[in-house]
Amino acid sequence: MSPPLLRLENISLTFGGKPLIEEASFSVHTGDRIALIGRNGSGKSTLLKIAAGITDASDGDVTSDRNATVRYLAQAPDMADYATVGEYISKGLGPMDDPHRASYLAAELGLDETRSPQGLSGGEARRAALARTLAPSPDILLLDEPTNHLDLPVIEWLESELQRSKSAIVLISHDRRFLQNITRKTLWLDRGRLRENSAGFSQFEDWRDKLLEEEEQELHKLGRKIVREEHWVTHGVSGRRKRNMRRLGELSELKSAFRNHQRAEGNAKLETSDVRTSGKLVIEADNIAKSYGSRTLVKDFSLRVHRGDCIGLVGPNGAGKTTLIKMLIGELEPDSGSVRHGTNLDIAMLDQRRDALKPDETLENFLTDGRGQTLVVNGEEKHVSSYMKDFLFKPEQARTPVKELSGGEKARLILAKLLARSNNLLVLDEPTNDLDMETLDLLQEMIADFKGTVLLVSHDRDFLDKTVNAIIAPDAENTGRWIAYAGGYTDMQAQIKEIKAANAPAKKDAKSEKSAQAKPTTANAKGKLSYKQKYALETLPAKMDEITKKVAQLETKMADPAFFAKDAEGFSKAAKELEALQNSHTAMEEEWLELEMLREELEG
Are 59 and 164 in a shared domain?
A: yes
> 223: pLDDT confidence band, cut at 50, 70 and 90?
low
Distance CA 319, CA 110 (A): 14
pLDDT for res 42: 84
Q: Most distant CA pair in the chain: distance in Å? A: 130
> Is 543 among the domain residues?
yes
Among 230-234, 515-519, 531-535, 551-555, name the one with the lowest average pLDDT: 515-519
Q: What is the CA radius of gyration of the chain?
A: 31
Are 222 and 331 in a shared domain?
A: no
> Is 289 among the domain residues?
yes
**How many H helices and E strands in the chain?**
18, 20
Percent pLDDT > 70 in the chain is: 83
Are 405 and 504 in a shared domain?
A: no
Distance CA 483, CA 474 (A): 6
Are 178 and 220 in a shared domain?
A: no
Q: How many Å separate Cα 90 from the centre of its chain?
A: 29
Distance CA 454, CA 164 (A): 38
Are 35 and 162 in a shared domain?
A: yes
**Among 89, 237, 166, 175, residue whose Cα is nearest residue 463:** 175
pLDDT for res 537: 81
φ and ψ at 281, to 5 degrees?
A: -90, 120
Residue 506 has pLDDT above 60, yes or no: no
CATH number of the domain residue 414 falls in: 3.40.50.300
pLDDT (mean) for 547-560: 79
User: Which residues are paired to 341 by β-bridges?
Assistant: 283
Distance CA 528, CA 525 (A): 7
> 237: pLDDT confidence band, cut at 50, 70 and 90?
very low
Distance CA 240, CA 23 (A): 41
> 212: pLDDT confidence band, cut at 50, 70 and 90?
confident
Domains: count for the chain: 4
Residue 362 has pLDDT above 50, yes or no: yes
pLDDT for res 377: 78
Are 198 and 256 in a shared domain?
A: no
pLDDT for res 133: 96
> Is 270 among the domain residues?
no
| pLDDT (tens digit per residue) in 120-140 | 888 899 999 999 999 999 999
pLDDT (mean) for 316-334: 92
52-53-55-61 Cα dihedral, nearest 10 degrees: 110
> Is 273 among the domain residues?
no
Residue 62 has pLDDT above 90, yes or no: yes
Residue 570 has pLDDT above 80, yes or no: no
Among 253-257, 319-323, 421-425, 459-463, name the one with the lowest average pLDDT: 253-257
pLDDT for res 412: 81
Please enumerate in sequence order all residues whose Cβ is within 8 A of that of 475, keeping only pairs 6 or more positions apart, or say none. Answer: 481, 482, 483
Q: How many Å separate Cα 499 from the centre of its chain?
A: 25
φ and ψ at 98, to 5 degrees?
A: -85, 115
Angle between helices 204-235 and 241-260 (to 10 degrees): 150
Cα→Cα distances 438→167, 267, 408, Å: 30, 7, 12
pLDDT (mean) for 62-76: 92
Distance CA 529, CA 535 (A): 10
Q: Which of 206, 225, 243 is the endpoint of a domain?
A: 206
Looking at this protein, which amino acid is placed at residue 578?
A: L
Express the helix, strand and coil content of the chain in percent, nearest 5 each. 45, 20, 35
Are 431 and 518 in a shared domain?
A: no
Are 197 and 106 in a shared domain?
A: yes
Angle between helices 152-164 and 122-134 (to 10 degrees): 10
- Tell me the torsion sign for CA atoms 470, 474, 475, 481: positive
**Residue range of the domain that includes 525:** 490-603
pLDDT for res 507: 55
DSSP per-residue string spanning 167-223: SEEEEE-S-HHHHHHH-SEEEEEETTEEEEESS-GGGHHHHHHHHHHHHHHHHHHHH
Q: Do residues 159 and 131 make contact, with C-beta atoms less than 8 angstroms apart? A: no
Per DSSP, the three-state class of 226 is: helix
Per DSSP, the three-state class of 378 is: coil
User: Which residues are paired to 170 by β-bridges?
Assistant: 34, 142
Are 12 and 98 in a shared domain?
A: yes
Q: Can you give the pTM of this predicted structure? A: 0.71
Are 24 and 89 in a shared domain?
A: yes
φ and ψ at 366, to 5 degrees?
A: -65, -45
Are 200 and 223 in a shared domain?
A: no
pLDDT for res 240: 43
Query: Greater confidence, 511 or 374?
Result: 374
Residue 92 has pLDDT above 70, yes or no: yes
Residue 18 has pLDDT above 60, yes or no: yes
Are 477 and 562 in a shared domain?
A: no
Q: Which of 454, 469, 487 is the endpoint of a domain?
A: 487
Q: How many Å separate Cα 209 from the centre of its chain?
A: 24
Please enumerate in sequence order all residues whose Cβ is within 8 A of that of 110, keeping only pairs 6 or more positions apart, or say none. Answer: 127
Please enumerate in sequence order all residues whose Cβ is within 8 A of that of 38, keeping only pairs 6 or more positions apart, or say none. Answer: 44, 188, 189, 190, 436
